[in-house]
Amino acid sequence: MKPLIRELLEYSQFVLIEGLTIDRGVEFDRLIHTLKAAAPNSLIQLMDGRGILGYDHVFFAVLNSLNARRSNRMICEDLTLEVIVYASAQRQIKNSVGLLGVKENSKQLVLAAISGDIEELRILKNSISEIEGLRLESWNRERLTTVKKMFKVTDDEFRSISLKQVPAREVMEKLVIERMALLSVNV
């Protein structure tokens, strides 16, 4: 995953997306409190990383969420929940949280933070290394099967867009992004 802060000029916002690994079970309330203390003016969403394929998967969920807010077509009243709804490509908040919500046994997490202040996101990124047992994650290929099941991608569908020179992760990520786009069209 490309750990970086990216500017979204169209929305006057910056986005930070990071893959994280935690050594033990997640104490979600404590972790989110610590992250929000580091970036009090940022919108922060943590997701279970087992269902996330990569940076583009989350980036397009953020873009779709910001676009939905701008066009007054949000599924949720909360932009952070909108991100998880788009990342899961589900219409129902309950289903979205069921698929990508952080659970006690989650060890792979994805952080998406949105802010108008790039410096606050830099502080947030730096604060991650100070949280005991939490570290930046290197992405692995084991998620492909999990994501394929979560998003109900058939073998035929996968094969139909697979190209010889394109890695399987990229093919799957394109399929997931396509499902997110369909969700935004149907709202």
- In CATH, what number is assigned to the domain containing residue 84? 3.30.2380.10
Q: Is the pLDDT of residue 141 over 70?
A: no
Q: Is the CB of residue 104 less than 8 Å from the CB of residue 31?
A: no
Domain count, the chain: 1
User: What's the Cα-to-Cα distance from 143 to each of 70, 116, 151, rounded to whole Å?
Assistant: 32, 32, 12
pLDDT in tens, 14-47: 999 988 888 777 788 888 999 999 999 999 999 9
* Tokens found for residue 90: 């589900």
pTM, two decimal places = 0.82
Q: Is the dihedral of CA 154, 156, 157, 162 positive or negative?
A: positive
Q: Is the pLDDT of residue 121 over 80?
A: yes
149 versus 1: which is more confidently predicted? Answer: 149
Instruction: Supply the range of the domain harboring residue 41.
Output: 4-185
Query: Please, which pLDDT band fits residue 55 given cuts at 50, 70 and 90?
Result: confident
